[in-house]
Chain A
Amino acid sequence: MNDDEKFFFDLKGFLVLRNVLSDDTIARCNEAIDRHAETFFETDRRLEGESKTLGGSARQKWMEGMLEWERPWCEPFRELLVHERIAPLLAELVGSPRLDHGPLLIAMDKGDGGHALHGGAVERQDFSQTYDFKYGKMSCGLTTVEFQLADERPGDGGLAIVPGSHKSHFPTPRGVALYEELQEHVKEIHTEAGDAIIFTEAVTHGTLVWQGGHQRRSLIYKYNTGSQAHAAGYHRSEYPEYARDMTEKQRALFRPTGR
């Protein structure tokens, strides 16, 4: 991570990286997704919250489980776990990273609803999601890498970020979170297929209603430090034998990390 990248990540809470994925990787991802189109699902959550501007005519389509697919379909998604352009950035921002959760594919067709803006330094205070800077070094908790599998051009909608909000000392105004006021402070991120965005979960971010004529496809990997887990993870956990005859409250202290 060069000095310019450090400056701008600290300043804004995100970086846009151009031409990270090869055309071949994009094509293999998209073909694998097409082959598994029956696994698209719609989340039960109202991602737009109470927003009058982020609700759409339909909901986003999500897809998970790509790491479990049979070969060759899983392969491009596994390769992206450790990407040569991304790994140095993660090393700088989170140290020895582990995948906290993902990959998650978000697909949006024209008119699909957005996601209320969330994050912010006040709202993301605990170490698992925070942004910190000390002794000349950045430290992030949950850190998102979003690989674009389709273009997101000006006016298309999609990923939106409030630059600098990872260091905000005041709560996010409701009008900003709902994208109903102060919209000029919310930056729509313009990218092409193959680009990647890396951002701290502490920066306020969300998704604008998709206006593009083509399907939006964003592939999200969320990393954390080696010691932290925001989500349950990919492993199964087994209590040690001696914990089996503990009381429930005692055993609860041995609970797996994450939520």
Chain B
Amino acid sequence: MMKINLLPSEYRKAERTPFIILLPILAGLICVLSAGAVAGYVKFSWRAEVEAERVQLQGQMRQKQPRLNYNASLLKEEAEYKKQAETISKIASSRILMTKKLDELCNLIAEGDAGQHGGYMVWVEQLKTKPAKRKRGRKKKGPQPAGELSFSGYVLANNAPLQDFNRFHRAIKDSEMYREQFMGINDPKGSVTEFTDDKVPTKGWSFALSADMTDPAEIMKTRAKKRLEAKKEARRKRK
């Protein structure tokens, strides 16, 4: 049976939103509002708070910047001064005392005249020193020579000048001067010269020697080490 409502529309009973529609509307509304609330909190509270903290910290950092800049310039100046102090120390410790080398060589030759070291008579025709060349690239291991001292001439004798030369060569190698100030000397070689004039000695062994000079900084280090050892020894003896 079919029912027909003939009442005018204002008198008719209002139709309720069907439950099947109301439920998704309510659920959707709750979800959308909750999500909106979360999004609003995140954007306008949390993020704003974090941004404010960052700005505050940046301000703090900006305030400290002048002191930090001051510190940086102090460090730069310190590095510059250190570099200069180091350079000047290197310059000062690189001085080879040429007077000492020449004087001690003359002494050693004079000692031969006096018959020491078995006796020899040396006539030096030429002597020259050559500073070490600064080589670029990788440095060799161990102490490097500071330069070269070379000298040539004759060891004079009436008989067997080679023997006298060998004595001179040995005297150099045994000397305190050589041990302290030189790193090596070339091996003896040369040839005998017989003089044809009326002078004596009548023969001479012509030689050319060259010795590597020890770096003065190394000499100073060795001396300091020796001093320390001597002090220790003296202390030990006293005990």
- To the question of whether A and B form a pair in one complex, the answer is no
Question: Which chain A residues have a beta carbon within 8 Å of chain B's beta carbons?
Answer: none
Question: Which chain B residues have a beta carbon within 8 Å of chain A's beta carbons?
Answer: none
